[in-house]
Amino acid sequence: MSIVHTESLTKVYGDVSQPIPAVRDVNLTVEEGEFLAIMGPSGSGKSTLLYMLGGLDKPTSGKVWLRDSELSALNDDALSRMRRTEFGFVFQFFNLIPVLTAQENVAIPLILDGVPRARALKQADDALARVGLADRTMHRPTELSGGQQQRVALARALVTTPAVILADEPTGNLDSRSSDDVVQMLRRAVDEWKQTLVLVTHDSRVAAFADRIIFLKDGKIVDDNRLKGRGNADQIREQLSKMVLS
Amino acid sequence: MTAQSSNFGSTVWQMTLMGLRYLNGRRLRTALTTVAIVFGVAMIFAINLALPSMQEAFQQTITSFTGADLSVTSVSGESFPPAAVLEQISSVDQVKAVTGILHRQFSLPTLGESSLGDTTQIDLVGVDPASMENVHQFVISDGRFLEPGDSGKAVLPAGIAELAPQLGVGTTFPLITAGGLKFYTVVGLLAEQGDLAAPEIYVSLADAQAAFNQPGLINTVEVLLEPGANREAAAADIQQAVGAGFTLDQGSNDSNTLAAMQVGFAMFDVLGMLALFLGAFLIFNTFRTVVVERRHDLGMLRAVGATRRQITLLIVIESLIQGLIGTAIGLLIGYLMAQGMISVINVYATDFFHRGSLSLQFSLSGLLGAAAIGLATALIAGYWPARAAGKTAPLEALRPATPANIQRAARWSLIVGIGIMLLAVLLLLTGNQGAAGGAVLFLMGMVVTAPALVIPVARLISPLLSFGFAREGDIARSNLVRQPGRAAITASTLMIGLATLVMIAAMVLSFASLINSLADVNFSSDLILLPQSIAVYDNVIGADENLANRVRALPEVQDVGTMRYASAATADGQALQVMGIDPNEYSKVASFTVNEGSPDAAFAALGSGRNALFTAIALSTVGLKVGDDFMLQTAEGPQTYHVAGIANDLFTFKIAAIFISQTNLAADFHKTEDIMLMINLAPDADKQAALVDIQTILTDYPQFTAHLTGEYRDELANVTSGALILMYGLAFLILIPAALGLLNTLTINVLERTREIGVVRAVGGSRTQVRRVVTAEALLLGIFGAAMGVLAGVAMSYGFIAAFGTVGWEMPYFFPVAGIIAAVIVGVLLALFAAVLPARNAARLDIIRALQYE
Amino acid sequence: MSVKHALLALLYHHPQHGYELGRQINAVVNTEWDVKLGQVASTLARLKDANLVDYEVEPTDDAPDRKVYFITDEGRRELESWYLTPEVREYRLGDAFYIKLVLSLLGGPVSPEQVLITQRRELFQQLHEVTELLRQADARTQLPWVLLLESATMHLDADLRWIEMCEARLNDLKHYDPPQPTPKPRGRPRRKLAQPSES
Ligand SMILES: Nc1ncnc2c1ncn2[C@@H]1O[C@H](COP(=O)(O)OP(=O)(O)O)[C@@H](O)[C@H]1O
Ligand SMILES: [Mg+2]
């Protein structure tokens, strides 16, 4: 079942005299429970597309639906509410509020939504435990490694059990080990907690975790690649053996 | 959605925590921003605590002796013949008994042998013992109360023993009277005595009338009502019976002193408000920076679902926290300041408060008022940046760079500001009372225009820096023009401080010249005899004609002119001081400054009919013009006087006073006491010898002191210039927040550019160069602020002096050259001083950490 | 990969029976690499001939006597020099896909973009599967296998990046003019006349 859907989605930056088309005429359907990776050279409009999917940026033309609601038809307050209840965001940089503890950072969307603080903090603890940071709840962001910070951000995205998690190069700033942790966790969110995930990445090895990869070029989707299950595992083994024995 | 409203508190609490941590993370800045609030709140709270305490003390002093149900006095405050009034009041139903008394509170001269020990002020009450005992029963602790027929007998409060232990029943003490020193014998001691009040000394009515040279007169009627009488109804009936010339339960005109004090305190209130105004500037400035600095955090909050209103709330809460902290500290300091003021007053104002001391009255409304003003300032100043913060786009969080860091000054600020200034100049040129408004408007216009001026002015003055700061000047300039709004606000705070300085300098010049010309008219005689206090004559005991006659009889003396005093009121109850002179005598020893015609004509006018010369203040208070007739409440009831002209002298120019002839003063106010004597000697007389002769006479009248007029004038000039220096002190107080503003902005500028400074250092900039850039920036701000301050100061001083002219203080306008130079120097020094810390911090930045700073 | 050196490496630790060696070699290296017993026996024979290993006969009661192999000094030296000789991977200059891409640039029924996309799909499919295997593998118990899979992901990643680069340079590639093969001069080469340079 589709959960996010776009129709002729277009974003043009700049003014009329010098339009910079960032996303052009994108028709995309994200299925519920899907792990979708968006790839493409830098400047191809990946982030812009992602932000429009999450209601962070307004399309120049075209429409975005989350289930039955059309995002561009909402006013700022409704959109804000949507962001804190239906979407979870993970970004590359500046992800956490430096003066808040990990626990509070995770609880923020709940608190902004009016959940009593004690309950919000309890839920935040649970979410942190899910990303393996049960022992770091009282730490400030500066006291955490980059990978840990990103996991806190992930916990924040998960805490509201949003309809969709949107991640913009969440591993772009991490070493390969931390990057692996974060992607594994994202994958688990999809597999075990049935989250829907849209992830922008530059890294093929991160994208390889996805169920589906779309490629953008100059703001357009140029390839939509659904990756099959593991039917070919034996073949791979054989190939590997050959490679080793050669 | 219900969750949203019901748990609003959860959000607010979280925001409060965040705000506290953000503030804690930038402690220096928080402290600097809060200081102005502290300053302002402390000022206002201190005034609002001290003033009511003093007022109350005054009230006690004035009314403490009335043990009766009601008391009736003349509206003018002066004495009146008792017969008719006593008759009228006792005929009213429900009145059981009445008695007439004559009393006056006055300061004692510091006599060598000290007639009443340490007592500095007393209330001498003359009573008719027979009728007094019907109205009020005195509790006697020793001896007896006065009896009919007593003369030269006195009853003292028992508490006086603390101040004058030698006094007891049967002892004798001297007291000043209008007829010279007189001795009284103590016949009894009273058990009761208010602590703060000047001790009441009861003598017979006749003795009091002699002491004040007011034979046959009283100034208060004490009334006892029938038991169970309706007080209000009785009071109305009595008022009806005595007519409009009398008033019930009103204190004496002592409130003149209080009014003068209130004016003084109002100055502090204004200072407090100015400090808060500057505090608002600082908060506004800081939070605008905060919003830019924190755009990532704010954007992130928006991205995870905060609404615009929630973001606005977050910043407002933060500024409120600062407001709260500042207000709390301010209240504390204010309380201590009030304590300090009270104890200073206790030391210096024993004249008013006698033994015992003023205690600070805690006032909840004063506290709430000051707190509300402090919080409101923080709230209002924080709101605008908070609203701007609400507009932060969620995507701000994701952009590493800040392309929008350079703000552009709105063009409207230039247009609106110049519009306001033009209007202000028009008002200034009218030269009437609107000129003061014009001055304030001009200041506002400057504030509005400032952002638009930053770039051109910076370009204009940065060449000045090329001497000492060849390379750094340009960098400093471009740093400054990046945030014209902030630079403008900083320069504006400095401007207000420096404009005040320039204005005070100009006013001091003008005032000095005014006072000098006034002193010319008062101090033209050879010798002058002055009472214990000048300008507050209610508490003075003068002398009867004997003193003047004895002086006149001295061989060296050629002319003696005297001044007399009475209090009066206008038809609508405004107090006026009435000065009585003999036009013929007085014109020989002193004069007035007159606005129209000549002094001679003015003296001539006083010679006949009920003519009065008004001080300019009196005229504008009463709202009359020369040639009008008006009704004056005198001790003889309402009398019509004619405004014959405007006249000022040094003693009266700052109060609402009128001059009439001594003949009229005696007829309408029953006053024949001389309170000041001016003496001209024969051309070949020896001044020192004459002084010695006069001082011999004055041993009988110790309430007077004799001075060589010239010497006294010099002494006065010293005191005046001391007071004027105090004014400069006020100006420097206002410069404190201005300096904080500078420091704040420079600190913020350095913080904001930490990364840039790191790059400059990494590519080889030296510490010295970095320090010099910050210093150059401070200098640019200082010169900018000083330039604006000079301009605004000139406009303000011109406006205020013009406005003073319309209330009658026509002062020459002096271009305050010295003030301008001082303002420029102070501005530059302040800038350099404010730059020390930020420049050092910038120079000491650790390169690696600076590069990582975000 | 040589079984020869694997046997030497195992014998270095302690003398062993041929059959045991066969089992151990599979256990140590990894489960997927199935070395046949016959191969072990023939290799041991060759090693004995080359005087790199030797054996002692261990008498047993019921069966034929077992040969217990041990490493000789010469074998030790050989093992050492093997460890110290780096393995060089061949450059895949003769890659079939490369030929396909270059040929598609000349124009044909399928555009070079499509050729790239098709190849990328396949590579991603493989990478996805290797990633799956990696996720299932337990690094604590199967470290050699995990390392091997990592090696595969890295090579696939490198291929993908190369494709990405080709894609980014496709426009340049399209305008690339293949050098014309210079026509072979017929007859005797003429001698060039020496000419004065103009500079
Ligand atoms: N705020 C902006 N203003 C103008 N142009 C922008 C803005 N944000 C992105 N762009 C342009 O839009 C295009 C797509 O950007 P982006 O979506 O960030 O690409 P990607 O995330 O794939 O690197 C780029 O050309 C970029 O320069
Ligand atoms: Mg991007």
Band (pLDDT 50/70/90 cuts) for residue A33 is very high
- The pLDDT value given to residue C34: 64
Any atom of ligand 1 within 6 Å of the Cβ of A26: no
Residues of A in contact with C1 (CB under 8 A): 244-246
Give the model confidence (pLDDT) of B3-38 as tens digits. Answer: 444 467 778 888 888 888 888 887 877 887 788 788
Q: What is the ipTM of this complex?
A: 0.89
CA separation (Å) from C199 to C123, C195, C196?
A: 55, 12, 9
- The pLDDT value given to residue B455: 80
Rounded Cα distance, B680 and B696, in Å: 18
Q: Test A208 with C32 for CB contact under 8 angstroms.
A: no
Classify domain A2-245 by CATH architecture.
3-Layer(aba) Sandwich (3.40)
Rounded Cα distance, B530 and B593, in Å: 21
Give the model confidence (pLDDT) of B647-703 as tens digits. Answer: 888 777 777 788 999 988 888 888 888 988 888 888 888 888 888 888 888 888 888
Q: Give C68's contacts (C-beta < 8 A, 6+ positions apart).
A: C15, C16, C17, C55, C56, C57, C58
Q: Which chain A residue is nearest to residue C148, measuring alpha carbons? A: A240
Mean pLDDT lowest for which of A84-93, B380-389, B613-622, B674-683? B613-622
Q: Looking at the predicted structure, is the pLDDT value of residue B400 above 60? A: no
In terms of C-beta density within 10 A (0-12 exposed, 13-18 middle, 19 or more buried), how is residue C30 classed?
middle
Give the model confidence (pLDDT) of B215-225 as tens digits. Answer: 888 988 888 88
- The pLDDT value given to residue B30: 82
Pairing of strands A164-168, A196-200: parallel
Residues of A in contact with C121 (CB under 8 A): 223, 225
B12 in A contact zone (CB under 8 Å):
no
Classify domain C3-83 by CATH architecture.
Orthogonal Bundle (1.10)
Residues of A in contact with B3 (CB under 8 A): 113-115
Q: Test A112 with B301 for CB contact under 8 angstroms.
A: yes
- The pLDDT value given to residue B498: 87
Ligand sitting nearest the alpha carbon of A56 = 1
- What is the number of CB-based contacts under 8 A between chain A and chain B? 100
> For residue B638, is it within any domain?
yes
- The pLDDT value given to residue C161: 92
Q: Test A187 with C168 for CB contact under 8 angstroms.
A: no
Band (pLDDT 50/70/90 cuts) for residue B258 is low
- The pLDDT value given to residue A46: 94
- For chain C, which residues make up each domain, given as ranges? 3-83, 96-174
Rounded Cα distance, B175 and B700, in Å: 10
Nearest CA to ligand 1 atom 16: A45
Ligand sitting nearest the alpha carbon of A41 = 1
- Name the packing angle between helices B767-806 and B472-482 (round to 10°): 60
Instruction: Determine C/B contact with 3+ CB pairs under 8 A as the test.
Output: no
Residues of B in contact with A84 (CB under 8 A): 304-306
Question: Nearest Cα to B80, choosing from B109, B100, B106, B59?
Answer: B100
Residue among B5, B11, B398 whose CB faces A111 most closely: B11
Residues of A in contact with B403 (CB under 8 A): none
Pairs from B412-416 (Cβ < 8 Å, separation ≥ 24)? B413/B448, B413/B449, B413/B450, B413/B451, B413/B452, B414/B449, B414/B452, B414/B453, B416/B448
Residues of C in contact with A187 (CB under 8 A): 135
- Same domain, yes or no, for B565 and B510? no
CA dihedral (B297, B302, B304, B306) positive or negative: positive
Q: Give B672's contacts (C-beta < 8 A, 6+ positions apart).
A: B213, B214, B544, B545, B564, B662, B665, B666
User: Looking at residues A32-58, what average pLDDT do you find?
Assistant: 93
Q: Which other chains touch chain A, taking contact as 3+ CB pairs less than 8 Å apart?
A: B, C
Q: Indicate the Cα dihedral angle B374, B377, B378, B380, nearest 10°.
A: 150
Any atom of ligand 1 within 6 Å of the Cβ of A193: no
Residue among C1, C127, C161 whose CB faces A208 most closely: C127
Residues of C in contact with A184 (CB under 8 A): 135
Q: Cβ(A143)–Cβ(A163) under 8 Å? A: no
How far, rounded to the nearest angstrom, does the alpha carbon of residue B369 sit from its chain's CA centroid?
19
- The pLDDT value given to residue A245: 46
- Same domain, yes or no, for B697 and B745? no
- The pLDDT value given to residue B586: 84
Give the residue ranges of chain C where pLDDT is below 70: 1, 28-35, 62-65, 90-94, 178-179, 181, 183-199
> pTM (2 decimals)?
0.67
Mutate to test the pocket of ligand 1, among A10, A20, A52 (most ligand atoms within 8 A of CB): A20
Q: Test B7 with A80 for CB contact under 8 angstroms.
A: no
Percent of chain A with pLDDT over 90: 64
Suggest the residue from A46, A80, A93 to mutate for an interface test with chain B (most B CBs closer than 10 A): A80
Give the model confidence (pLDDT) of B246-255 as tens digits. Answer: 887 644 444 4
B160 in A contact zone (CB under 8 Å):
no
Closest chain C C-alpha to A233 CA, distance in angstroms: 7
Pairing of strands A61-66, C16-17: unpaired
CA angle B405, B409, B412 (to 5 degrees): 150
B6 in A contact zone (CB under 8 Å):
yes
- The pLDDT value given to residue B254: 47
> For residue B409, is it within any domain?
no
Any atom of ligand 1 within 6 Å of the Cβ of A20: yes
Closest chain C C-alpha to A242 CA, distance in angstroms: 9
Closest chain C C-alpha to A190 CA, distance in angstroms: 14
Give the range of the structural domain holding residue B395, as residue numbers without chain letter: 1-61+253-399
Instruction: Specify the higher pLDDT residue, B347 or B796.
Output: B796
Mean pLDDT lowest for which of A107-111, B396-400, B732-736? B396-400
Provide residues of A within 8 Å CB-CB of chain C: 41, 184, 187, 204-205, 207-210, 213, 215, 222-223, 225, 227-230, 232-233, 236-237, 240-241, 243-246
Q: Looking at the predicted structure, is the pLDDT value of residue B562 above 60? A: yes
B460 in A contact zone (CB under 8 Å):
no
Rounded Cα distance, B502 and B515, in Å: 20
Q: How many domains, chain B? A: 4
Which of ligand 1's atoms lies nearest the C-alpha of A45? 17
Top mean pLDDT of A1-10, B338-347, B490-499 is at: A1-10
- The pLDDT value given to residue B819: 85
Instruction: Specify the higher pLDDT residue, B146 or B739.
Output: B146
Output phi, psi for A90, to 5 deg. -135, 130
Q: Looking at the predicted structure, is the pLDDT value of residue B127 above 50? A: yes
Instruction: Determine B/A contact with 3+ CB pairs under 8 A as the test.
Output: yes
Rounded Cα distance, B641 and B629, in Å: 6
- The pLDDT value given to residue B358: 65
Mean pLDDT lowest for which of A149-163, B40-54, B679-693, C5-19? B40-54
Q: Test B10 with A89 for CB contact under 8 angstroms.
A: no
Place of tokens 């001075």: B707
CA angle B489, B490, B496 (to 5 degrees): 85
Residue among A76, A84, A114 whose CB faces B8 most closely: A114
Which of ligand 1's atoms lies nearest the C-alpha of B395? 1
User: Looking at residues B105-131, what average pLDDT do you find?
Assistant: 76
Which of ligand 1's atoms lies nearest the C-alpha of A169? 21
Any atom of ligand 1 within 6 Å of the Cβ of A18: no
Residues of A in contact with C127 (CB under 8 A): 204-205, 208
> For residue B443, is it within any domain?
no
Nearest CA to ligand 1 atom 21: A47
In terms of C-beta density within 10 A (0-12 exposed, 13-18 middle, 19 or more buried), how is residue B232 classed?
exposed
- The pLDDT value given to residue B236: 86
Q: Looking at the predicted structure, is the pLDDT value of residue A22 above 90? A: yes
Q: Which chain C residue is nearest to residue A204, measuring alpha carbons? A: C157
Q: Test B7 with A114 for CB contact under 8 angstroms.
A: yes
- Same domain, yes or no, for B735 and B682? no
Give the model confidence (pLDDT) of B180-214 as tens digits. Answer: 888 899 998 887 655 445 778 899 999 999 888 88
Mean pLDDT lowest for which of A146-150, B191-195, B413-417, C48-52? B191-195
Give the model confidence (pLDDT) of B281-319 as tens digits. Answer: 777 877 877 787 787 888 889 988 889 999 999 999 998
Instruction: Give the Å distance between the CA of B717 and the centre of ligand 2.
Output: 77
